[in-house]
Chain A
């Protein structure tokens, strides 16, 4: 699996867009980018995933650079409930294999 690098922590004002970066410079052609988040000691929650095209769902948008070496998760209008640790995972497309999280980015939404 490709290694990912995320900032340890970030702050964002409530109501603004939260942009969480992830570097994955060693990503290979068949690896996807997945995002999960974990709100304080709750179970992790899937957010979104993508291969090379930008993706959007009801929770977030995922922007992957053209060379696929980095990506950004965007929460368009952050709320206090978005305060969580966000994990970027790069893996070959998988359905039910184990999830392995790194240290992630601790996002704090400021009122």
Chain B
């Protein structure tokens, strides 16, 4: 089954304790992205990657790191989490695909992170 997986799905941690949220897709997609979703603020992009070893900042990259060493994986790293990073996080992927064809983004199930 074509899918984007994220782990963990739920995480409660404390301020300053480094954590990684993994994201993996099995669709051979070039493009991957991380979003956070907060009440009243909608979906905001954190980082994205157009291909292996190519990453770029989205709208809210502060406090986050990413890496893209393999095509299928795009982990999100919080080196020193703070309470304002408490949020619902989504990973998404899509094909860069054919010119003129809309390449829909496929989203993972989400990771609900609480930083105390």
Contact = CB atoms under 8 A, between A and B. Distances in A.
Contacts of A41: 88, 110, 112
A98 B50 contact: no
Size category of the B interface is 20 to 34
B107 interface: yes
Nearest to A43: B107
A43 B92 contact: yes
B94 interface: yes
A46 B43 CA distance: 14
Contacts, number: 57
A107 to B, nearest CB: 17
A101 B109 contact: no
Contact of B59 (A43, A93, A98): A98
A109 B92 CA distance: 27
Interface stretch (B12-20, B78-86, B95-103): B95-103
A95 interface: yes
- The binding surface of chain B is classed by DSSP as strand
Contacts of B45: 98-99
Interface string B62-96: 00000000000000000000000000101010101
A42 B112 CA distance: 11
B16 to A, nearest CB: 27
Interface string B45-59: 100101000000011
A44 B43 contact: yes
Contact of A98 (B48, B103, B112): B48
Contacts of A43: 4, 90, 92, 106-110
Interface of A: 32, 41-46, 49, 93-96, 98-103
Interface of B: 4, 31, 33, 35, 42-45, 48, 50, 58-59, 88, 90, 92, 94, 96-97, 101-110, 112
18 contacts: A32-B102, A41-B88, A41-B110, A42-B107, A42-B109, A43-B106, A44-B105, A93-B102, A95-B103, A96-B31, A96-B94, A96-B105, A98-B58, A98-B59, A100-B43, A100-B44, A101-B43, A103-B42
